[in-house]
Structure formats: structure tokens, C-alpha cells
Amino acid sequence: MDQRATRDRAGRGVRALARRLLGRVESDVPTPRRSNPDAVVDCAVYVNGRRQPGRPHYADAYARVQHGRDSFVWLGLHDPGPAVLAAVGRTFGLDELTVEQALADGHRPTVQRHGPVTLLVLRTAGYVEHDELTDTSEVIDTGDVMVLLGDRFAITVRHGAAGALRSVRAGIEGRPALLAAGPWAVAYAVCARMVDSYLEVAGHVERDLERVEEAVFARDRTADIQHIYQLKREVVEFKRAVLPLQAPLRTLLDPDGAPRALHRWFVDVDGRLSRAVDRVAAYDDLLTSIVQSRLAQLAVEQNNDMRKIAAWAAIAATQTGIAGIYGMNFDHMPELAWRYGYAGALALMAAAALALYRLFRRSGWL
């Protein structure tokens, strides 16, 4: 009995220890994100441009605005999965093609109309801080934002890390008169934020360009051609995000585009986008000139090296020629029996080398 009791106590001790260890291990494992497990960043109902209290489920929110006046729902999604988008599509009446387009990333900026739903695609851009430019540096991080607009809803679907829309929502909620225009006010706010981010990134890239330009045209010329080319690749990616947005944005200014009440706001965004396009195009052209200048510098440096090699080869060839002639051991050669012939030959070789060296030095070859 004593042995059985001892074994029971030992077993209970082992089980208690195991429970404590398991509890410690579970506490060390990161807990999954409890908020928005279905990629929903935010969902709100707006009436007359003012956000209503609470954060309802998007299905309840959409059902609520169906029976109200001057109201709509704004649903924000970040990297949603197929199941989430399928459920959202069923709730808001999106067709299959619209759901597929919203699921994939990497689209070109565009405006498409699928029945009563308008799809607006924009590219996001964010500057990646870095201490120095290398041949693998990531300078610009891009993604995309899709805005789905209906009569009573606005759905924003964001792919990638850049282009967070929390500040967009907070900013437009502070302007209820503008938000009262309905879902298209959300489209304006997103477009304005994306264009502002383009200008911000362009400012950072301009500083990188100044550093690269200084390194290329400095006296020591420390710039590496691979680093310059990497920056050009990043600028080209940035250019693909900015330039194609011009045509879709201007289609919103057509009579059948955005509401007339918002036209002047979209005109302002189009003006800022033109400034961003001009800056990005100028950066691309400048980088092309810098690359060509650096290649020309490398060609000149190689040419200088070849001239130095040729000059030293000519000096060495003179010594070799003199030594070769006097090393043939012919019977009848000038100064062959001269007492100071050896010293004279060395003096001739040194004089010839010195004369050639001064000649090449004066001409810039050495």
C-alpha cells in the first residue's frame, strides 16, 4: 500500500509538473491576432457624413443602411483571403469577376464599372529607410488599394504593407460635409492620400539621387554602378505606380464619372498627381544620365589604364631592344671592345627610359 501511495503521489507530481511546463510553453507561443481575424480592419456606418457609434459586422451594417437615407457603409479589408472576399461579395452583391480582381494584387491603376459597382485600382508606395544604398537595397515598397463603390457602400481592399488607410479614414471623418457626398467621398480621400504619398516618396528619392550624384562626380568617385542601377530599378517601379494613374483619374472627371459635387476635389488631386508624375519622370531621366556618365567615366578610366600600360611597355621595349642588340655577340659591333662599353650601354638605356618617361608624363599618359 505504501509503495502504491508513493507511486500515486509521484504520478500526480509528474502530471502537475507537465501541466506547468505545458502552460509555460503555451505562454511563450505568440497568440493569434484576436481582432479582425477575417482581415476586416474597420467597418462603420455613416449617416449624413457622420460615423455612427459601434463597429457592426459588415452584413448587419449593410442591412442597416438599406433602410436609411443619406447613409452608407465603409468596409476596410487588408490582404483578405478567398473565403472572406466570397462572403463579402455575397453580402454586397458583387459579381464573380469583381471578387477575383479584388483578391489578386499587382493590378495596373484603372477604373472599371461592373454594373452598379465601380472598381478603382490604385498603386501604393512607401519609402524604405536605409543607411546606405547597395546593389540589393529596397528603396520603394509598393502594393495596391482597390476601392469598390456602390450606391450604399464603399469597400477598400489593400494588398501589401504600404498604404495604410487608418489616417485616411480619420481624416475624412473630420470633414463630415465632404463625407456626406457618399461613397465617392471615400474614393476621393483614398486617391488624395495615395497622391500625397507619391509626393512624399519622391522627396525621399530626391535626397538619394543627390547623394548618388555627389558620389559619381566626386574627385574620388566612390559610386558603384550596381548601386546606381538598383536605385534606377526602384525608381522605375515607382514610375509604374504613378504614371498609369493619370488616365483613370481623368476619367472620373467625365460627366458619367464621379459626382459633380466632387469634381473640383478630383481636379485638385489630378493637379498634384501631375506634379508627382513630372518629378518621377525627371528622376528617371536624371538616373539615366547618371548611369551614362558613370559608364563614360569607367571607359575613360580604362582608357587611362591602357595608356599607362602602353607607356610602360614602350619604356621596357627600349631597354629590351638595346640589351638584345648588344647581346648578339657579333665580332664587328661599335664600341664592342671599348673599356667603358658596358657602362655606356647602361647609361644609354637609362637615358632612353628617362626621356620616354618625361615624354609620356608631359603628354598625360603617366
pLDDT of residue 46: 93
Instruction: Extract long-range pairs of 312-316: CB within 8 Å, 24+ residues apart.
Output: 312/366, 314/356, 314/360, 315/353, 315/356, 315/357, 315/360
Looking at the predicted structure, is the pLDDT value of residue 323 above 90? Answer: no
pLDDT of residue 82: 87
Number of H helices, E strands in the chain: 11, 7
* CA–CA separation, 232 and 309 (whole Å): 34
pLDDT of residue 334: 66
Q: pLDDT category, 38, cuts 50, 70, 90?
A: low
What's the angle, vertex CA 176, arms to CA 163 and CA 47, rounded to 5?
Answer: 100
> Which residue has better confidence, 69 or 276?
276
Output the nine-digit C-alpha cell for 135. 546593389
CATH classification number, 299-363, choose in 3.90.78.10, 3.40.50.2300, 1.20.58.340, 3.40.190.10:
1.20.58.340
Residue 330 zone, left/alpha/beta (φ > 0; ψ -120 to 50; rest): beta
* CA–CA separation, 220 and 223 (whole Å): 9
Which range has the top average pLDDT, 20-34, 44-58, 312-326?
A: 44-58
* CA–CA separation, 110 and 108 (whole Å): 6
Across the chain, what does the average pLDDT equal?
81
pLDDT exceeding 90 applies to what percent of the chain?
Answer: 27
Q: pLDDT category, 221, cuts 50, 70, 90?
A: low
Poorest-confidence range of 112-121, 206-215, 321-330?
321-330
Indicate yes or no: pTM above 0.75: no
Question: What count of other Cβ atoms lies within 10 Å of the Cβ of residue 3?
Answer: 7
Q: What is the largest CA-CA distance in the chain?
A: 126
pLDDT of residue 143: 86
- Span 334-341, mean pLDDT? 69
pLDDT of residue 55: 87
pLDDT digits (tens, 9 = 90+) for 113-127: 888 999 999 998 888
* CA–CA separation, 84 and 77 (whole Å): 9
Looking at the predicted structure, is the pLDDT value of residue 306 above 90? Answer: no
* CA–CA separation, 42 and 45 (whole Å): 10
Looking at the predicted structure, is the pLDDT value of residue 94 above 70? Answer: yes
Do 190 and 147 meet the contact criterion of CB atoms below 8 Å apart? yes
- Span 165-182, mean pLDDT? 90
- Span 182-191, mean pLDDT? 93
pLDDT of residue 332: 64
Output the nine-digit C-alpha cell for 91. 453580402
pLDDT digits (tens, 9 = 90+) for 247-258: 999 888 887 788
Looking at the predicted structure, is the pLDDT value of residue 7 above 60? Answer: no
- Span 293-320, mean pLDDT? 80
pLDDT of residue 131: 74
Looking at the predicted structure, is the pLDDT value of residue 2 above 50? Answer: no
**To which residue does cell 495596373 refer?**
108
Q: pLDDT category, 223, cuts 50, 70, 90?
A: low
Please, is 324 exposed, middle or buried when counting C-beta atoms within 10 Å of its C-beta (0-12, 13-18, 19+)?
A: exposed
Do 125 and 242 meet the contact criterion of CB atoms below 8 Å apart? yes
Looking at the predicted structure, is the pLDDT value of residue 4 above 90? Answer: no
pLDDT exceeding 70 applies to what percent of the chain?
Answer: 86
CATH code of the domain made up of 40-292 = 3.30.460.20
* CA–CA separation, 3 and 7 (whole Å): 6
pLDDT of residue 35: 34
Q: Where are the domains of the chain?
A: 40-292, 299-363
pLDDT of residue 1: 39
pLDDT of residue 130: 79
pLDDT of residue 199: 93
- Span 264-280, mean pLDDT? 92
Report the C-alpha dihedral over residues 212, 140, 198, 74, rounded to 10 degrees. -170
- Span 135-141, mean pLDDT? 80
* CA–CA separation, 312 and 48 (whole Å): 85
Closest-CA residue to 191 (of 267, 107, 115):
267
Looking at the predicted structure, is the pLDDT value of residue 153 above 90? Answer: yes
Sheet with 153-159, side-by-side order of all strands: 50-51, 40-47, 71-78, 153-159, 140-149, 117-127, 110-114
pLDDT of residue 9: 44
